[in-house]
Amino acid sequence: MTDNRLDGNAAGGALREVFAVDLTAATGQCSNCSQRLALAESRLYTHAPGLVGRCPGCDAVLFRLVRGPGRAWLDLRGVTCLQFALPGAT
Amino acid sequence: MSVIGIVSPGFSGRRRGGAPDLPPGQYLTEDFPVLSAGPTPHVPKESWNLTVTTETGAAHHWDWAGLTALPTERFTVDLHCVTKWSKLATAWEGISLDTLLAGVETSAEYALAHSYGGYTTNLPLEDLLDGQAWIAVRYDGEDLTPEHGGPARLLVPHLYLWKSAKWVSAIRLLNEDHPGFWESVGYHNYGDPWREQRYWGD
Ligand SMILES: [Zn+2]
């Protein structure tokens, strides 16, 4: 049995295209209540050690973003399947 | 403008009386900033509950009357927030975790604190013991307001303040470490301000 697989680096181009877009316009689904929403519609808490985006429907955490010197961490476990528009691409 | 002989203890980084410096990278503040990762839970004392579960699944419960019937301590501690402010000599009243856990049989090494509203934070159980941690119920002579974690919050002042879970609802004692809300997204697993353990790898 051989797996038809590549090194993860081969995803670099596709991931670069996605992570260069404006994430606030991306739509996803709340993992808790299944509401679909754009990330820009989330309730953002900023008086905290990081940014916390919560679902406007159920207050569940959608994403957490922590910014340190020279590093950042993004946890999106509260959102499933983000949909992006790719400007200029077909 | 001439400024002669004015040395702010905060600016010099030295506390009056030759006490130790502030932890590295911290500045002094006089007010008490409110940090929150979500909506502020308003939990009435009548429905408030604290649960401690052990690694065997044994559960211990305290309602408000049960908690406040335990011996209460007054203590004055310095607070260090990872967002870089420090507030010195804050006065609290609360129940020592040594008192709370005196009747709890456990050989767990780790604790995971849970809050009303869903927040979590993890720390070694030994950091909750030996006079290092309290369930705080009063601040500065007043009942603890919801903004500061009332009716009751965990207070572990020797670690960065995110470890001092506001609105504490449960403490799970575990055999394995389980990173909490901030510890799982870049913040240091232990968070010692004197070693400036802010982020992963610090
Ligand atoms: Zn939701």
Structural domain including B107 reads 3-8+48-195
Within a domain: residue B35? Answer: no
Element holding A19 (H helix, E strand): helix A12-19
Report, in angstroms and rounded to the nearest whole number, the Rg of chain A calculated over CA atoms. Answer: 16
A22-44 residue pLDDT tens: 888 899 999 999 999 999 999 99
- Tally of domains in chain B: 1
pLDDT tens-digit map of B41-83? 999 999 999 999 999 999 999 999 999 999 999 999 999 999 9
Q: Which residue blocks in B28-145 are alpha helix, DSSP H?
A: 64-68, 97-100
> Chain A contact for B185, CB < 8 A?
yes
β-strand partners of A80: A29
A15 burial class (0-12, 13-18, 19+ CB within 10 angstroms)? exposed
Neighbours of A54 (CB within 10 A): 22
B39 vs A59, A64, A65: nearest CB: A59
Q: What is the arithmetic mean of pLDDT over B149-173? A: 98
Q: Contacts of residue B35 in chain A, CB cutoff 8 Å?
A: 47-49
The pTM of this model reads 0.90
Q: What is the pLDDT along chain A (90 residues), one digit of tens a residue?
A: 567 888 888 988 888 887 888 888 899 999 999 999 999 999 999 999 999 999 999 999 999 999 999 999 999 999 999 998 887 777
| Contact list, B187 vs chain A (CB under 8 Å) | 49-50, 66
Q: Within chain B, how many helices (H) and strands (E) appear?
A: 3, 11
Query: Residue B87 is part of a domain; what is its CATH number?
Result: 3.90.420.10
Distance (Å) of CA A13 to CA A20, A88, B77, B129, B180: 11, 16, 52, 51, 33
B24 in any annotated domain: no
